[in-house]
Amino acid sequence: MRWLSSKSIKPQSKRNLLTHVTGFSKYLVTLGYPVTIPEKPFPARDYVPYVFSDEEFSRIIEAADHIGTFEPTASFAVRCQTPLLIRVLYCTGMCSGEAIALTWNQIDLENGIIYAHQAKNAKSGAIPVDTSLCELLKSYKMMVQSNGRCLEHVFESSNNSGVPHRKAFFRFWFGRILRAANIHYVRKTPYERGPCLHCFRHLFTIQSFLKSESEGRTFEDSVPFVSTYLGHVGLTETEKYLKADYTFYTRSHQRVERHIDHLFPEVTFE
């Protein structure tokens, strides 16, 4: 444990290191050595996601749709595929790597369904697609395939036909879009993740809960469905997507205040 405490790494990384020590300890036990097998400490959740506000998301879409104006040398993939990828991530909550690897065979444009293969935690499932995104995908497919592009992969590489772009490609251009949208980030905690493509998965989760609440469903009723949709193995995995957003708490405070406001008189110090 002293050895672990000397490591300046995340708690989960310490737990992973201890796995090797535990395995070696079990091996020594089979050889007859009196060894105590160390217990794995429960890692604290230190991950802090970045959640885009509605106003920030609007600026991102505006910058992505007009990326050619501030990046004159931007390729077709940058000008057309990047704005589409952002919308797919926002509307489906898919992991960025999973979305980038999408093929047309996975998308049922007639019924508005995306069939995810080997998604989060190696799970597969059907993702319902909103009509607006479905129509956008139809228009995009017609445009690119009429020019002989993206015949198999939705986000096919411009330099390597039949192969999707790498995540690093979109990660680079999304950084340019963030700067154009005037979104600058300074890390507040050691393990806080700044704005990136994966943040749209968090934004999707939060917006899903808010939409469910506005339609009369309680937070508790929605959690199992959203957790299953995201491919999480348990509800605690979904919880980390919400801890950085105070929208739920703000609304809860407002509801409580409406019920108890008349109980406490205002106090003035004049």
103 lies in the same domain as 165? yes
263 in a structural domain? no
**pLDDT category of residue 215 using cuts at 50, 70 and 90:** confident
152 lies in the same domain as 221? no
Query: Could you report the per-residue pLDDT of 33-69, keeping only the tens digit for each?
Result: 998 888 776 655 556 677 888 899 999 999 999 998 8
46 in a structural domain? no
Domain end point (choices 152, 180, 208): 180
218 lies in the same domain as 149? no
194 in a structural domain? no
DSSP classification of residue 118: S
Domain end point (choices 151, 180, 209): 180
Instruction: Give dist(CA 80, CA 99) in Å, integer.
Output: 15
170 lies in the same domain as 250? no
Instruction: Give dist(CA 18, CA 107) in Å, integer.
Output: 42
Contacts of residue 153, defined as CB under 8 A and 6 or more positions apart, other chains included, come to 101, 102, 103, 104, 162, 163, 164
123 lies in the same domain as 167? yes
The domain tally of the chain equals 2
Q: Residue 164 sits in which domain range?
A: 54-180
Contact 114, 107 (CB under 8 A): yes
176 in a structural domain? yes
Using the predicted structure, report yes or no on whether residue 262 has a pLDDT greater than 90: no
116 in a structural domain? yes
89 lies in the same domain as 156? yes
Query: Could you report the per-residue pLDDT of 125-183, keeping only the tens digit for each?
Result: 888 889 999 999 999 999 999 988 899 999 999 887 789 999 999 999 999 999 999 99
136 lies in the same domain as 233? no
Go through the chain and tell me how many residues it has. 270
